[in-house]
Amino acid sequence: MSTFNKIFKASVYIIIAFAAAAALCLFGMTYAEENEDNEFTTEPEDEDTTRLDITTSEEITSESEISSESEATQSETESTVETDDSEEPPTETPPAEPEELQLSFYNYSLQKGQGVQLTAQVINSTAENPAITFYSSDTNVARVDASGYIIATGVGQTEITAYYGNLFAAAVITVTEEEVKPEFIILSKKEFLLKTGGTAQIEAELLPKEIADDYTFTYSAENTDIAAVDEKGIITAVKEGETKITVSAGDLSETVYVKVSSETFYEVSKINGYLYNSKGEAMAGSVVYIDGQTATVDKSGYFSFEAVDRKNVTISISDYPDVKCEFKVTKDETVYLLSSESSLVTVASIYELQGLLPINEIRFDSMNLVLNEGDVYSLNYTFMPQGATLTEIKYESSNPIVAQVGQIDGVVSAKSAGDTVITLTVNGGQASVKMNITVNPRESTRFSILIAVIESVVFLAIGTFVFVFYRKYKLKAESDLMEEDEEEDEDLHDFE
């Protein structure tokens, strides 16, 4: 007989034994309960109880008659009471009105990011603070907190439902994209100087630009007797005076100032200027006067004036207050002034100024440069003053073996590792500037090849080691598995 059959039969015997034991226990418990009931009913009672239970048939008949008379009397009494009550019916209490859940609104539209408070009220409720809960059917469109405050989270439509016990009510929430409103009105010009009868165009731009097409500019003049403006923003000067024009778009507005005169005006929003002495040196700190306006010269010789509205202006400087000159304004431009104790010369063109000013400063974009062998680099420079004449340029490398420089184009060519200095001299020595250059060696090709070979050998060795180790491990695992199978076969054979 096999081991499996033996185990199976033993299991069946054990189950049968357990079932028999359980049946015996159940039978014993039932028998014990029946004996306890019999003992309770046959237990002798005390003497008084026995005497009460032993009665004659006559006594029972007498008690029955007494009971019948008592019931008859009670029935008559109840009948009398019912007759009295029917004459005066009791007042009935009216039923309570049903509870109802009401919302502050049932439809609402929001823009993405906006919020609104939804309130719910229980009508005919006796509760002081009824517990109302809120729920959103789509939180991707709108969310609601425990107090009923709704936040629009995405475009679409959802329902916000309020619950109180078995009562509920819903509000439909519609969410649209957030409206992009204009933020700025940009005016190309905010002041206009016009001659009587003259016209000018207001140029306005609305930001952000992506919504500009959704809005239209409107224009309104404060005093149309002085200047009028049409729907296209064209100003017409009527008579002398000053007025304002309001440019509006949406909730935004800007103001344009208009001055009308019968005189001839030439508008210049700004004059840029440079002031030098006869040596070409910037007259830093000097004050320039133009028709009552003042400007201070900075260290480079620069000064500027805003909104010059006269065609002819008079210029003077603080260093030589008795020396003056007149300047005819023709456009927004840069003016160059050469001053001495006896004269103040105004030159409106850079080309007219060339040859009059020496170069007093020259600079490279960078004073230090790092290159690799074989690199090229174009030198860039600036000189002061801007109107000076550049007649001669000379480049020089202190070490041409390291780097060379072209005399015409100023292109530096890195030749070999090392350091050198590139010098730029202009106008026969009027000004010069130096640049330090470091050239790094380029990596050797042979060295790069050697590194690549070494890396390949290392990777090949690692791969071979991994393969051998894996192969050895796999063979050992297969051998161990075969040995285990053989041992199991032997054990099974011995068992049988």
The CATH fold assigned to 100-176 is: Immunoglobulin-like (2.60.40)
Cβ distance 154 to 140 under 8 Å? yes
The whole-number pLDDT of residue 142 equals 96
Model confidence at 83, in pLDDT bands (50, 70, 90)? Answer: very low
**pLDDT (tens digit per residue) in 223-249:** 999 999 999 999 999 999 999 999 998
CA–CA dist 326, 190 (Å, integer): 28
pLDDT at residue 392 is higher than 50 = yes
At 428, phi and psi to the nearest 5? 65, 25
For 375-379, the CB contacts below 8 A with 24+ separation are 375/413, 375/414, 375/439, 376/411, 376/412, 376/413, 376/414, 377/411, 377/412, 377/414, 378/409, 378/410, 378/411, 378/412, 379/405, 379/410, 379/411, 379/412, 379/422, 379/424, 379/435
Among 56-65, 122-131, 388-397, 400-409, which stretch is predicted with the lowest mean pLDDT? 56-65
Non-local (6+) Cβ contacts of 292 within 8 A are none
Chain-centroid distance of CA 464 in Å reads 53
Task: Report pLDDT for 46.
Answer: 45
Helix (H) or strand (E) run with residue 249 in it: strand 241-249
Both tokens of 136, joined, read 């959103």
**Whole-angstrom Cα distance, residue 336 to residue 288?**
12
Interval 464-482 mean pLDDT: 79
**pLDDT at site 143:** 96
Give the model confidence (pLDDT) of 245-285 as tens digits.
999 988 889 999 998 887 655 555 567 777 877 666 778 88
Q: Which residue has the higher pLDDT, 348 or 173?
A: 173
Averaged pLDDT for residues 113-122 = 93
The yes-or-no verdict on residue 2 having pLDDT over 80 is no
- CATH code assigned to 268-347: 2.60.40.1120
Q: Please say if the pLDDT value at position 40 is more than 50.
A: no
Q: Which ranges of 88-135 would DSSP assign to H, the alpha helix?
A: none
Q: Residues with Cβ < 8 Å from 400, sequence gap 6 or more?
A: 415, 420
CB atoms within 10 A of CB 227: 28
Identify the pLDDT of residue 22: 59
Please say if the pLDDT value at position 155 is more than 50. Answer: yes
pLDDT on residue 370:
93
pLDDT of residue 145: 95
* CB of 243 closer than 8 Å to CB of 221: yes
pLDDT of 44 strictly over 80 = no
Q: What is the DSSP string of 445-463?
A: HHHHHHHHHHHHHHHHHHH
The answer, yes or no, to whether residue 216 has pLDDT greater than 80, is yes
- Is residue 246 within 8 A of residue 222, CB to CB? The reply is yes
Global pTM value: 0.30
The average pLDDT across 442-471 equals: 74
> Which two tokens mark 416?
């070999």
Residue 85 structure tokens: 């009550």
pLDDT in tens, 194-203: 888 889 999 9
Partners of residue 466 on adjacent β-strands: none
Question: Where in the chain are the domains?
Answer: 100-176, 184-261, 268-347, 361-440, 446-473
Q: Would you state the pLDDT for residue 17?
A: 63
pLDDT band at 59 (very low <50, low <70, confident <90, very high): very low
Amino acid (1-letter code) at residue 418 = G
Q: What is the pLDDT of residue 63?
A: 46
Is the model's pLDDT at 220 over the cut of 70? yes
Residue with tokens 């005189």: 263
Report the alpha-carbon distance of residue 48 to residue 242 in Å, rounded: 131
Q: What is the mean pLDDT of residues 212-232?
A: 91
| Topology (CATH level 3) of domain 361-440 | Immunoglobulin-like (2.60.40)
Does 361-440 match 268-347 at the fold level?
yes
Strands (DSSP E) contained in 367-489 are 368-372, 376-378, 381-384, 393-397, 403-405, 411-414, 418-426, 431-440
pLDDT at 218 over 90: yes
Q: Which CATH code fits 184-261?
A: 2.60.40.1080
